Amino acid sequence: MRKAVFFDRDGVLNVDKGYLSRVEDFEWMDGAKEAVAWLTKEGYDVVVVTNQSGVARGYYTEEDVRRLHDWMCRQIEEAGGKVMAVYYCPYLEGAPVKAYDKKSDWRKPAPGMILQAAADWDIDLASSVMIGDMPRDVECGERAGVPSYLFEGGSLLDFVRKVVKEGKCRETI
């Protein structure tokens, strides 16, 4: 089985600007690309799990989300890292776009995206880590059986090294 680091996207890999859908608005968090490159060298698979309710709200399309994620993954590869997969949830109960107005077990804090990734890629959840910037991210990881950590800013590379190497920065809900 594989070990992975699951990352939330907005507020962890990129600056959270609210409903990000365009490459030209994307701004990397300090040390984000370097953190993924370091994890890749350390033998971890990297998976991104992100709520994208902007689709359900009609702010952008799933194609916009995929285009941004493709660009993001290419940028990480150019920095020496690899994102194995990106899972996103476009659904939101009560959303104005009716096709996306539904409850989904992929919407964090539900653990569906992590559980699907584990099934798809043979990931050992107990040997993996979830890093997010919101309590719902930590709850999602914990509900999936993944040790989970709250990232509150600073260098993502430094934070990831501490979490992986020393098991520090643990957040309990």
DSSP assigned state of 29: P
Helices 62-78, 32-41: axis angle to 10 degrees equals 70
Measured distance CA(40)–CA(154) in Å, rounded: 21
Q: Identify whether 70 is a catalytic site residue.
A: no
Name the strand (E) or helix (H) holding 5: strand 4-7
Measured distance CA(15)–CA(168) in Å, rounded: 23
Find out whether 25 is annotated in a ligand binding site.
no
Find out whether 10 is annotated in a ligand binding site.
yes
Q: Identify whether 120 is a catalytic site residue.
A: no
Hey, what are 102's tokens? 């539904």
Annotated binding site for Mg(2+): 8, 10, 133
- Catalytic positions, written as ranges: 8, 10
Provide the annotated binding site for Zn(2+): 89
